[in-house]
Amino acid sequence: MHLDDLFAATAAGPDPWSSPVEEPQMDVIQNLIAGPLTGDDDLATAVALASLVHSELEEFGTAARNQRLDGDQIATTQRALRATLARHGINLNLPWRDFSGFRSYWINRGASGPGGWQARRDILGKFFGPVFAELDRLDDAAFASAVAEGVSPASGTGWPAVDAALDDVRVRFRSAVTSADYQDVGRRCVAVMEALSGTVYDPAKHLRDAETEPPVAKTHMRITRYVEDTLAGAGNVEVRALVRKAAELAEAVKHRPGGTRRDAGIAADSVTLLANILRRIATD
């Protein structure tokens, strides 16, 4: 979730020339206090919340007239920020609850008056500087440990359902922090396998006489048959074995209690590799 996603445009007023007004999505922000949102990149959301809270406090400390949040909303958003940062091992304890509390804080530290705006920014920098530095570090680390990409210069496989499922795996892997999250990565890896199964298997080509077409969820049967027919012969036995192992690995992570980031990353890399191999087979 990015900064703009925290706001939603409301309908314009009775004046046909008036522009829609952006309102904060406080229900979404409130839910972030309890935990990460399903399918969301929780690290990106932490960055968005930190940027929002910092900019709102800075605006209040500079001009106190152009904030997008009111006092109750900034209090809730600060709570959501604190909870979201904590999920990534970052502590932020602001010694004020809302805008009025921030004003009392800077007055007590001699940062009041027309010339005190820079001192108030310095106060915010003391609290938020380390937070933004740590968020940058985590973002760099997440990029470095991202799921593997294919060597092809193409941006994807060109199979819409497969590419959408792979993107879903990448987003979920980046935000995963708990064992349940890592199991969810496994489930999404299975979804990639099912997308591949539905894409490469053609009953007109791969169904044998007297056979019944296996459902899409029977990924092992469908993808293996596709590879058997497309890469027949002893020379391709390793590729056929890789297909079977990738499916087994994704299923294992899906059901494994106490899964780790390493487990989920291996499964995600495996299905990404498999998707690119199958696409290369189809292209050739």
CA distance 45 to 55: 15
Q: What is the pLDDT of residue 113?
A: 77
Please determine, for residue 151, whether its predicted confidence score (pLDDT) is greater than 90.
no
Q: Please state the rounded mean pLDDT for residues 12-20.
A: 59
- Identify which of 43, 116, 105, 102 has the alpha carbon closest to the alpha carbon of residue 69: 102
Each residue's pLDDT tens digit, 114-141:
778 899 999 999 999 999 999 888 876 6
Which structure tokens are listed for 255?
Answer: 């059901």
- Of the pLDDT bands very low, low, confident and very high (cuts 50, 70, 90), residue 142 is low
CA distance 3 to 1: 7
State the span(s) of the chain assigned CATH 1.20.120: 160-283
- Identify which of 206, 180, 192 has the alpha carbon closest to the alpha carbon of residue 258: 180
Phi-psi region of 39 (alpha: psi -120 to 50; beta: other; left: phi over 0): left
Q: Please state the rounded mean pLDDT for residues 26-43.
A: 89
Please determine, for residue 72, whether its predicted confidence score (pLDDT) is greater than 70.
yes
Q: Please state the rounded mean pLDDT for residues 17-29.
A: 80
Q: CA quadruple 103, 52, 34, 263: dihedral positive or negative?
A: negative
Q: What is the pLDDT of residue 180?
A: 82
Q: What is the pLDDT of residue 147?
A: 55
Q: CA quadruple 65, 67, 70, 74: dihedral positive or negative?
A: negative
- Of the pLDDT bands very low, low, confident and very high (cuts 50, 70, 90), residue 97 is very high
The string of DSSP letters for 205-252 reads HHPPTT--PPPTT-HHHHHHHHHHHHS-SGGGHHHHHHHHHHHHHHHH
CA distance 242 to 149: 17
Show Cβ contacts of residue 268 under 8 Å, excluding neighbours closer than 6 positions. 147, 148, 169, 170, 173, 185, 189
Q: CA quadruple 103, 107, 113, 119: dihedral positive or negative?
A: negative
- CATH class for the region spanning 160-283: mainly alpha
- Identify which of 91, 71, 69, 74 has the alpha carbon closest to the alpha carbon of residue 82: 91
Please determine, for residue 67, whether its predicted confidence score (pLDDT) is greater than 70.
yes
Quote the distance between the C-alpha of residue 54 and its chain's center.
22
Please determine, for residue 246, whether its predicted confidence score (pLDDT) is greater than 70.
yes
